Amino acid sequence: MSKAFLIAAPWSNSGKTTLTLGILRWFLNQGYRVQPFKCGPDYIDTIHHSTAAKKPAINLDTVMMPKEHVISIFNKYQQASDISLIEGVMGLFDGAVKDQGSSAEIAKLLDIPVILVVNASSMAYTIAPILHGLKTFDPEVNIAGVIFNFVKTESHYAFLKEACDVVGIPSLGYIPPNEEIAIPSRHLGLHIDHTFENVIEKAASHIANNISISKLLESIKDTKNGRKEKPVKEIIPKTKTIAIAKDEAFSFTYLENLKWLETIGNVIYFSPIHDTKLPDAGYIYLAGGYPELHLQKLSKNTAMRAQIKAAADRGVTIYAECGGMMYLGNTIIDEDSVAYPMVGVFPLNTSMEGKKLSLGYRKVVWNDLEIWGHEFHYSKVSGDDTILSTGKVFSARGKEVPTKIYTYQNVYASYIHLYWAAINPNSILSFLFQSKSTSNTDT
């Protein structure tokens, strides 16, 4: 048996993530092979999906990725699983432009059913016209069932079930509120701490005790084996080493990006927090993350800071995104206005003071090369007026935005988390892995 379904909601804050984590863990505990996916560009939810399923989660995004790529990677990972579960993004039809990139678009593209989770804490029979609208707005979206969240009593649920009966969507039950499975507030994404494993286990039990898992399985169909992803042609000799920052400060990556890097070089990992020696590598990738939560440790590791600065000065290719970019600046300033010295490759400062959210899809254009990514941060930059930048950056609606891609020697840095796994390596080399000099170190 191989089944797949997508958990979506009419609107945000309905409990999609808690439900996803709990169901993933329940199936895993029953001996199923589970594969988690996430609609959209979120690189934090996937960390928690991976914890719940004990298997890496995969992003599916029809804005950042060609549709053929989405189909290909979904098929590649779901074929080795019994249950594939995709968590949706925002409301069912919410996309970057209309429904582009929405949960509904992903469900249609992959031909998989949708299970709705509805926050019905302040709603009764009025849910009927809402469900009717969701069901009929796009008949190609197969809504196979509804789970009602935050419902306290059987009498309340009776109104909701009657609404389902009238609309013709199966009701799979209701989940009462439970503070023990409440997910803590998040900084940029879901909170990460040592108690989260207990929350997932409790969510699995609470959900399974209150909804019909067997009915859920009956409502979703078996998946078909589709196209396999084409292997990437090796274009960089395996003697070329790519060093990737990975620790509690730098962890926001897309799995397929890392897999892509593994096809073109020897990938090794290092920690800017804990390691005192930078690996001898021709390429360095400083991923995004939470450097602002580890400022003292990052700043105190002067040996690592000095070696990264020296690598940049001698022409090693370095690519940094968001948190990695912040780390390459002169200082990061925390919410209390305390400045912590960083690497100093770029004469800029980033600050968490007076936090203001900047987010959205980004299309980056260098000459004939286009790569999509996503920007999501609360910090702001100062002192960057004299820094060279490259390329142009546009929103999903085609409007040019002021986000910069900073350059120095062979160093490239920006707030954007790029998704390059769908790009032909021969063309992406013109940016990510093409040097302006021949001074890079090979191993």
Query: Which residues are part of the catalytic machinery?
Result: 322
Please tell me the distance from the alpha carbon of residue 125 to that of residue 67, in angstroms, as a whole number.
Answer: 38
Please tell me the distance from the alpha carbon of residue 61 to that of residue 38, in angstroms, as a whole number.
Answer: 8
Residue 77, Cβ density class (10 Å: 0-12 exposed, 13-18 middle, ≥19 buried): buried
| CA dist list (Å): 355 to 257, 292, 294 | 29, 12, 17
Contacts of 277 (CB under 8 A, 6+ apart): 303, 304, 307
Identify each DSSP E strand in 253-338 by its residue range. Answer: 266-270, 283-286, 288-289, 317-321, 331-333
Please tell me the distance from the alpha carbon of residue 346 to that of residue 348, in angstroms, as a whole number.
Answer: 5
Closest CA to 207 of 396, 1, 29: 29
Q: How many CA atoms lie within 13 Å of 106's alpha carbon, on the beta-carbon side?
A: 37
Does the CA dihedral 432-435-440-443 come out positive or negative? Answer: positive
Contacts of 410 (CB under 8 A, 6+ apart): 312, 315, 316, 317, 318, 435, 436, 437, 440
Does the CA dihedral 352-355-359-365 come out positive or negative? Answer: negative
Closest CA to 167 of 132, 123, 116: 132
Q: How many CA atoms lie within 13 Å of 392's alpha carbon, on the beta-carbon side?
A: 8
Please tell me the distance from the alpha carbon of residue 27 to that of residue 54, in angstroms, as a whole number.
Answer: 11
Contact 114, 135 (CB under 8 A): no
Please tell me the distance from the alpha carbon of residue 160 to that of residue 209, in angstroms, as a whole number.
Answer: 19
Closest CA to 329 of 315, 314, 345, 313: 345
Q: Quickly count helices (H) and strands (E) in the chain.
A: 13, 23
